[in-house]
Amino acid sequence: MPSNNEICLMEAVELAGRVREGELSPVEVVDAVLERMEALEPRLHAFCTPTPELAREEAKRVEEKIASDEEAGPLAGVPVGIKDLHAAKGIRMTMGSRAYEDFVPDEDDVAVERLKGAGAIVLGKTNVPEFGYSGASDNPIFESTTNPWDTNLTLGGSSAGSAAAVATGMGPIALGSDGGGSVRIPASFCGLFGMKASMGRVPLYPGCRDESRPGMSSWESLEHIGPLSRTVRDGALMLSVMAGPDDRDRHSLPEANFDWTQAPEGGVQGLRIAYSPDWGYAAVDPEVRRVVGEAVKVFEEASGAQWKRHTRASRTRTTTSWRTSPWTPTSWGCASWPRSSGTRCRRT
C-alpha cells in the first residue's frame, strides 16, 4: 500500500488506473489529499472554498461503482480543483468578488460536468483574482495564494489556486482558464504543464457565456479552458475528457481528429519550432532571458526538431487588441450590473 505522500504525488493517469483495478480506494486517495490540504492550506491559500465532505461522499460513490463492476470513468477517483470562475453545482462561486460572495450556482459548467462524469472528485473551488482580471491572486474576500516554491513570491494568475494545488500534490490536476496568460503564467511560475487550448475546444456554459452573471460574462471573446497538471500525460487526459462540441456554446469546436491521450507519445523529430526571446520589443528580465535561453538550447539538442529564432513581431497586432477588447463597458457587464450591489465597474 503506497503512503499518503506517494498517493499525493502520483500522476492522474496512474491514480485512475490503480483505482479502477481496485489497487487503491478512492476514499483513501481523497483522505490522503485532504490531509495534505489541512497541512498546507494555512500557508498557501490555494482553495477559497474547499469541500472535503462532498469529496468524501463522491469518493464513496466511485468506490461503490467499482465494487458493482460499473464503469468508473477515465478519471476514476482522481481529485481535482475547480477554478472559482467556473460553476460547480451546489458549491459557492464568488469569482473573487464581493458582488458574488454568497452566490451558489444551480448547474455545472460544461467542463466541470464532464470531469465529474469521468469519475473525477471535486475538492473545492480554487482561488482567483476578482473576476480573473489580474495576473496575480489578490481579491477582496480571501487571502492571496502564495507561491509554493517560495511563499514570499507571487505565483501569477489568474488560475493561481489551481496551480498552487497541483504543484503541492493537492490533486494531480486542476481546472484553469486563460485569456491573457491565466493558465500559462501560474504554470510557468510553479513548474507545471499548462495549456491554453484553442477557443471553443472546451465548451463554456454557463460560465462566461451567461449574461445573467455580469463580470463573469465579460470573458466570452477571450476565455480558453485549459488543464493544469504536473505532467503532459495528465493534461492530455484532462483534455480527452473536457474537449468536444456542445450546443450550449456557440463557439465550441468539432471533435478533434486525433486521440488526446496518444498526443504525448512519440517525439517532435523533423518538426519546425519558432522561438522568440522577447517578441522583438518586450522588456525581459536578464535572468529570465538567460534561463529560458539555456532551456531552449537543451530542447534544441534533445528534440530533433528544427528551431528558428525570431526577433521581429508586430507590437501593434499583439497588444492593441488585448488592451482594447476586454475593457469595453459591455464586456465589464456594467449594462446589466445589479444596481443594488453598490459596486462600481472598474478595471482591476
198 is a domain residue: yes
At 219 the pLDDT is: 66
Residue 126: give its domain's CATH number.
3.90.1300.10
Residue 298 lies in a domain: no
pLDDT the model gives residue 331: 37
The total of structural domains in the chain comes to 1
Where is pLDDT greater, at 19 or 300? Answer: 19
Retrieve residue 33's grid coordinates.
489529499
List active site positions.
83, 158, 182
Spatial separation of the C-alpha atoms in residues 220 and 210, rounded to whole Å: 9
Report if residue 329 sits inside a domain.
no
What's the confidence (pLDDT) of residue 183?
A: 97
Which pLDDT tens digit goes with each residue over 121-164? Answer: 999 999 999 999 899 999 999 999 999 999 999 999 999 999 99
pLDDT reported for residue 147: 97
* Residue 54, pLDDT above cutoff 70: yes
The answer to whether residue 313 sits within a structural domain is: no
**How confident is the model over 169-178, as a mean pLDDT?**
97
Is residue 222 included in any domain, yes or no?
yes
Comparing 62-66, 120-124, 328-332, the range with the smallest average pLDDT is 328-332
* 348 compared with 244, residue with greater pLDDT: 244
Which range, of 68-72, 85-89, 165-169, 203-207, averages the lowest pLDDT?
A: 203-207
Instruction: Tell me if 288 is assigned to some domain.
Output: no
Output the average pLDDT for the chain: 88
pTM: 0.89
**Beta carbons within 8 Å of 79's beta carbon, 6+ residues apart:** 29, 30, 33, 55, 120, 121, 123, 170, 171, 172
Residue-wise pLDDT for 198-230, tens only, equals 999 999 988 766 666 666 666 677 889 999 999
Is 330's pLDDT higher than 90? Answer: no
Assess if residue 204 is contained within a domain.
Answer: yes
Quote the pLDDT of residue 215.
62
Residue 42 included in any domain? yes
Q: What is the structure's pLDDT at 217? A: 62
- pLDDT top residue among 326 and 145: 145
Q: Which domain holds residue 122?
A: 4-265
Across 238-255, average pLDDT: 95
Comparing 329 with 56, the larger pLDDT belongs to 56
At 225, which helix (H) or strand (E)?
strand 224-229
Do the beta carbons of residue 162 and residue 174 sit within 8 Å? yes
Q: How far apart are the C-alpha atoms of 286 and 216, rounded to whole Å?
A: 36
